[in-house]
Amino acid sequence: MELCYHDVDGVNRPVHVPENLFVIGTMNTADRSLAMVDLTLRRRFAFIDLEPSRSEPWGTWVVNQKQMEESAAREIGQRLKQLNAIISADSRIGQAFCIGHSYATPPTRAWRAAPAETGSPTW
């Protein structure tokens, strides 16, 4: 494959991409500021929709790994299901705006939620 740009020395060298290279990307379809980028990507790549998980694997994981009460995990799953039914039925927003399991999963590292003490960015 040839790139659109020349190398630093002005030579246009071919580039080899191995057959076993798979590029997996994620995108937030609810972010409408990227509508033109979304359309461009959809014309060029295959898409697979992954729905939010509020099922047994998530419930078992938060109970075992995050010490969440089993009843609380069940209640969260039921409430998210009800809320997402309302969101999906609303023609102004629709299914793309459904709430996923990450909103109800306790954070792994609390330091990410706290502001940096130095006043400078963490990264």
- Summarised one tens digit per residue, pLDDT across range 51-107 is 766 667 888 988 998 999 999 999 998 999 999 999 999 999 888 888 888 888 887
Map tokens 């991409």 to a residue: 17
The residue-averaged pLDDT of 105-111 equals 72
Give residue 1's pLDDT: 77
Domain of residue 62, residue span: 32-107
Q: Is residue 65 in a domain?
A: yes
The residue-averaged pLDDT of 3-22 equals 85
Residue 79 near residue 118, CB atoms below 8 Å: no
Q: Is residue 10 in a domain?
A: no
Q: Is residue 45 in a domain?
A: yes
- Rounded CA-CA distance 13/5 in Å is 9
Give residue 119's pLDDT: 57
Q: How many domains does the chain have?
A: 1
Map tokens 């940096």 to a residue: 116
- pLDDT score of 48 more than 90: no
Q: Which residues is 2 bridged to in the sheet?
A: 14
Q: Is residue 20 in a domain?
A: no
CB contact set of 98 (below 8 Å; sequence gap of 6+) = 51, 52, 84, 87, 88
